[in-house]
Amino acid sequence: MLGRFAPEIRTQTLFRDDFVGAVRVGHPLLAVPITPEQYAACRHVASSRRGTFTGPVDAALAALGLIRDVVVVVPAFSDALRIATRSDLVALVPRSCVTGDKAGSAPGIEGIAMFELPVATTGIAISVMWHPRMDADAGHRLPVVGGRYTQVANEHGGKSLIFRALVDCGKWD
């Protein structure tokens, strides 16, 4: 979770995810084994609600003396994927943005090829947060099985409603 919140705020981790690279099908980067040097040499699109040009991959690249060239910053992962499908820019996104549900049951996004990053990055936790006064709200009564939230599919490719709301990887137009 980002930032600090009032102590009464309740949180529940829905699932954990990791980052992958995403490029358009036919991107030149896919023609060779992807090394940290080749990855950093590409031009990148970053996703940041705060407008920052660095992300989780930059520290790992810096440890190798490398810097990636971020030329565009957008507010949502879905925007980064749209740009990647129409250009040679490389997007850094959570794996579940490309595969759908964390379990990978939803089909991938047409025109996007996913690849493992050539450097290690820390994972992320996708969580839901609410104030206790909202406990009775129907939107907070999510199905729970064995203490874990179950996947809630919708009509848009089987992607989780929860995931779409929290990470902005909604219906692909």
The secondary structure of residue 1, as a DSSP letter, is -
| pLDDT given for residue 136 in this prediction | 73
What is the pTM (predicted TM-score) of this model? 0.72
Say if residues 99 and 108 touch (Cβ distance below 8 Å): yes
H or E element in which residue 19 lies = strand 19-24
Sketch the domain layout of the chain as residue ranges: 18-121
| pLDDT given for residue 128 in this prediction | 75
How far apart (Å, rounded) are the C-alpha atoms in residues 155 and 145?
A: 22
What average pLDDT values come out for the chain (173 residues) when binned by 10 residues?
A: 67 84 95 96 91 85 97 93 95 86 52 94 81 72 44 37 41 29
| pLDDT given for residue 5 in this prediction | 67
**54 — phi, psi (to 5°)?**
-115, 155
Q: How many C-beta atoms surround the C-beta of residue 129 within 10 A?
A: 12
- 18, with CB counted inside 10 A (0-12, 13-18, 19+), is middle
Separation of CA 116 from chain center? 13
| pLDDT given for residue 97 in this prediction | 86
| β-pairing verdict for 43-47 and 90-94 | parallel
Say if residues 61 and 36 touch (Cβ distance below 8 Å): yes
Assigned superfamily of 18-121:
Periplasmic binding protein-like II (3.40.190.10)
Nearest to 27 by CA among 41, 47, 46, 11: 41
